[in-house]
Structure 1
């Protein structure tokens, strides 16, 4: 353990919480700054998955054909809000560029390395805080209704196999024996046994915050207006000082990084879900991934969550809950025994970067400011890996992996 420093972590989502917890564990004096409530954004309503097998970038050669069709459907799995295009077109063009084979293969390698680091560090964090009981290895089952879709995804699983990610294939009746209750149209499934789930994302975030607070974490509620080397200025005019500052404010991070001379193409990629009572579908143990429809069905400790989709819009646009309703209609067809009653709808903005890789590293202005944002769908999964890298950067140690591809100057 090195020198103890005063550190400000901006952002009370899962990534900021994991960083704060890790720095507290290393003996630093940490203040967490959050503009709303703990896990007020995407961290509270996500799909609860530790998707360590999910190394395939969203920006991929195969996504382009699908995306063109999806873009035209206002409630489709990947849609664009047309009035917001002046603000989001630049991101979309970068997304298409990132889908080129050369960038795609590079992103896979980096994601795989991050996932391996996450598999190592997540159990360590749970053990430090007595939270092991809040995570279980329930596995993720990817489902297919056509041979073409199944064979196309098998090629992606070949990439995963190269990175030592295990999977099992179930075809025909074997699939329906493995997961009862599926519509008869499903002909195959690929099961990822390393997929894990937290009991409830909001409860999990609050538990981390409570544990870190008991160890000395201080929390300040207020919106950050400006970062300057060792100072954070709040919208209220209050100024907080520290030796180091970590920016982990999700989709709101780019506004602050741009003021530091580091423009980052981050948007709030909006996801929707409906959380149903636990009795809505009997016998659900695995996370079900409907890849062709871009949503998942997840067993939580207190319910069943049907969620997913990607809506490209500005962060402040009002939710379009027709998207969650459309997902529920599909879910009822694909899971005939699902009871769509007493559901609670939700929308959250994921911090998405076109190449599907987060920004982790020093700001261009100062090594006293560290960036850690832009994890997209993988904030929970990669939270402890990010915390490990941030702790190493803060202490000036060799990082556990090469972070060149994650630095802010790649844009």
Structure 2
């Protein structure tokens, strides 16, 4: 195995964050190598909902959310749950989550998320132009649906928050107005919010593969190997893998839900947890889906993937080791069959992905305090695809020694 030169940058992770960061680093004129234990888009970037959800600026840790915690334990199939077998282990993370839901921290998190979203939206357009990516995009907006006036009114503070941060949307209060955008919905959905700036990719795995192809065509290398530890050395970093030691000038850790394990080899404890998300993909749509649908009261979405449909969502805070509970995916499909008139789900493929999540719903983007030649880029929760291009530009600026386009203090790895 050829050894990277000491001035090379090794990016650990070939998901959407790692691949997009590698492309941005390459655009800086740097020599870059990606390593991943499975390969390009083999983990969470393979099967997510495919949404660039730029209007989603609210963190999961909202004021008052901890009052709902007991119900999470009692409903294993609800929109947000904690398996009882994992409850004790996640208790320290939940304490930090509660602290992050305080009003002052919530306001700061919304501002930081909004800044990163604006950068990511502009960065995505730059990336699309650079890699001829328009054929991989769907610009059809998103319809967020509510059952009844009470549910809709409860959502209005969130919409007002979006308005304050310059996000365009239309609020709809009639079934006819909803049907003009998406016909065929069950009559229970009486109100909605439509965000026209929402973008989807035709397939998140295909988009990541396309970017990886551009990276290798420009001279970048992608290798499959398991990274076990990082060690700072004079002038660089040693990367211990199952196939030997790599020597890099700098390292970018973008290994998703496994990233904290690498940080731990440097002596850093970063409270990364896993939002386990479930979905089912149907190869043929069977329903004329015209926009990304978000069923707000039920915690799931329906989106087009290729020529088919993907039904998925919900959050299960269950770590990396527990076996999947595919009943969660089945519950969502049964609901989708009730909500979409004429949709008959057959021949679906179930899937579970690990979303890397930090207590304040903000990613870690910045240099390790234990090794200044290691840059972290992980913890985006369910917004990894959405924030990939913006994160990549921030990583490239840090690696090149330039000031980043937005302040990264809120994303600092040492904030915990």
User: Scaled by the length of structure 1, what TM-score is found?
Assistant: 0.96
Contact kept, 8 Å, 1:231 with 1:239, in 2: the verdict is no
**1:184 maps to 2:213:** no
Contact kept, 8 Å, 2:109 with 2:360, in 1: the verdict is yes
Whole-angstrom CA distance in 2 between matches of 1:377 and 1:13: 13
- Secondary structure of the residue aligned to 1:260 is coil
What is the match of residue 197 of structure 2? 194
What is the match of residue 349 of structure 2? 344
- Secondary structure of the residue aligned to 1:298 is strand
What is the match of residue 244 of structure 1? 250
Residue 231 of structure 1: how far off its partner (Å): 3.1
Residue 15 of structure 1: how far off its partner (Å): 0.3
For residue 370 of structure 1, the aligned residue among 368, 375, 382 is 375
Whole-angstrom CA distance in 1 between matches of 2:102 and 2:38: 38
For residue 155 of structure 2, the aligned residue among 128, 135, 153 is 153
Structure 1 residues 311-320 or 346-355, which shifts more?
Answer: 311-320
Whole-angstrom CA distance in 2 between matches of 1:35 and 1:194: 35
Contact kept, 8 Å, 1:222 with 1:234, in 2: the verdict is no
Large movers: runs of 4+ above 4 Å: none
Residue 67 of structure 1: how far off its partner (Å): 4.4
For residue 264 of structure 1, the aligned residue among 256, 259, 270 is 270
For residue 38 of structure 1, the aligned residue among 40, 44, 61 is 40
Instruction: Map Cα deviations across residues 135-174 of structure 1 (whole Å, 9 max, x no partner).
Output: 1211010000021221121211111111110000111222
Residue 393 of structure 1: how far off its partner (Å): 0.6
What is the match of residue 309 of structure 1? 314
What is the match of residue 106 of structure 1? 108
For residue 129 of structure 1, the aligned residue among 128, 131, 143 is 131
Contact kept, 8 Å, 2:237 with 2:373, in 1: the verdict is no
Q: 1:62 to 1:189 in 2, by over 3 A?
A: farther
Instruction: Map Cα deviations across residues 23-75 of structure 1 (whole Å, 9 max, x no partner).
Output: 11221110101011211111111110001111011111253344442331111
What is the match of residue 280 of structure 1? 286
Contact kept, 8 Å, 1:67 with 1:78, in 2: the verdict is no
- Secondary structure of the residue aligned to 2:54 is coil
Residue 319 of structure 1: how far off its partner (Å): 0.9
- For these two proteins, the number of residue pairs brought into alignment is 407
Instruction: Map Cα deviations across residues 180-214 of structure 1 (whole Å, 9 max, x no partner).
Output: 11111111010001100001011111111111110
Q: 1:140 to 1:232 in 2, by over 3 A?
A: farther
**1:255 maps to 2:261:** yes
Q: 1:62 to 1:166 in 2, by over 3 A?
A: farther
Whole-angstrom CA distance in 2 between matches of 1:331 and 1:51: 21
User: Scaled by the length of structure 2, what TM-score is found?
Assistant: 0.95
Whole-angstrom CA distance in 2 between matches of 1:17 and 1:66: 37
Instruction: Map Cα deviations across residues 231-279 of structure 1 (whole Å, 9 max, x no partner).
Output: 3434425111111111110110001112212211111210000011333
Residue 407 of structure 1: how far off its partner (Å): 0.3
Q: 1:176 to 1:302 in 2, by over 3 A?
A: closer
Contact kept, 8 Å, 1:71 with 1:78, in 2: the verdict is no
- Secondary structure of the residue aligned to 2:297 is helix
Whole-angstrom CA distance in 2 between matches of 1:195 and 1:65: 31
For residue 56 of structure 1, the aligned residue among 55, 58, 63 is 58
What is the match of residue 360 of structure 1? 365
- Secondary structure of the residue aligned to 1:191 is strand
Across the aligned residues of Structure 1 and Structure 2, the Cα RMSD in angstroms comes to 1.4
